[in-house]
Every structure is written in C-alpha cells, then in structure tokens.
Amino acid sequence: MVRPASLQDAAAMDEITVAAWRTSYRGAVPDAVVEAQHTGPRGDFFRSQLPSEPPFHIAVATAGSAVVGFVHVGPNRDDDDPLLSEIWGLYVAPEHQRSGVGRTLILHAFKWIESVGGSEATLWTLRDVDSTRRFYEAMGGVWDRAEKSETVGGAVMAQVRYRFRFSDIA
C-alpha cells in the first residue's frame, strides 16, 4: 500500500535511506562514504518536510504496518526547466528491493505529478550504479545526457539525469 508520509514516518525513511546506501551503492561509491552514512540528519530533513504539501509530495510504501520504501517529489532544482517536477528521492528497504515496491512508488509519483498538472519529471541518480539506472530505464526513463558531480564525504560522485515523459510510459 502507498500512502502520504506522516511525521511519524521520518525515522523509518531515514533508516531506509542509510540501509539502501550501504547495500545498493557499495562498490560504486568509496567504502568510506558508504560506511559514513548514518541516521539522524536525513530524519531531521524529513521531519521538516512532513506533512508534505504541493509542490512537494512524499509517500511511503508499507507492508503491514512497516514502512518499506518512499518517494519524494518536489520542484525541479535545475535551471533548464523550472516548471518540471523532480523525483528528489526513491528508496526501498534492501529486503524489499526487486519486489515491485520501487515500481509502485515511482508510478504513484507519476500519477501525483499528473494530478497537479505535470506531464514529465526528472530525477538524478549516481552514474555508476547500474542497477538503479536499469530500473529507471525499465520504467521509461531516458538519460537526457545531463551530468553533474557532487562531493560527499570527500568523494566526487558523478550523477546522470533521467527524464520521464508520462505519455511514453505504458
């Protein structure tokens, strides 16, 4: 089930983000950066964002009463098309990856963006994490050749941007 995130979900979202970094990014990100991930700061960020209101939307996927993933949508942070929505984050607990949770969350995000008048979205992902890139491509995302780098824990991490045109998604 997918529902709007509540303030009480912030800690679970924080834990899921750290767990996903530690499993999904290992090998593509320096070990020191992966090991430096810890709960706390992201939880504070999520608490400041919840409950979300347009132009933001944060939703969680649940299995029973447990939060197993989340998606965070907001305004596009790039200067080239400020009217687009951007998927700021999509994380699934490692034990629920490859079970359809990510697909359910991203389709939920697309429907929410359409409900507020959008027809496209972008997202940034790490260039060297093949599994996430394959997932976004399977969901209809197209790498639009935009790239940027961000320094995290002293390591420079290359990112690529995917664009989703909802009319092209089955």
Contacts for 92 with CB less than 8 Å, ≥ 6 apart: 16, 20, 61, 68, 69, 99, 101, 102, 105
Domain locations in the chain as residue ranges? 2-168
pLDDT in tens, the chain (170 residues): 999 999 999 999 999 999 999 998 888 888 888 888 889 888 999 999 999 999 999 999 999 999 999 999 999 999 888 889 999 999 999 999 999 999 999 999 999 999 999 999 999 999 999 999 999 999 999 999 999 998 887 888 899 999 999 987 75
Residue type, 76: N
- The answer to whether residues 166 and 65 touch, using CB atoms and an 8 Å cutoff, is no
Residue 96, helix vs strand vs coil:
helix
Q: Which pLDDT belongs to residue 38?
A: 87
Q: State the architecture of 2-168 in CATH terms.
A: 3-Layer(aba) Sandwich (3.40)
- Cut 0.75: pTM above it: yes
CA distance 24 to 150: 18
Q: Which pLDDT belongs to residue 41?
A: 85
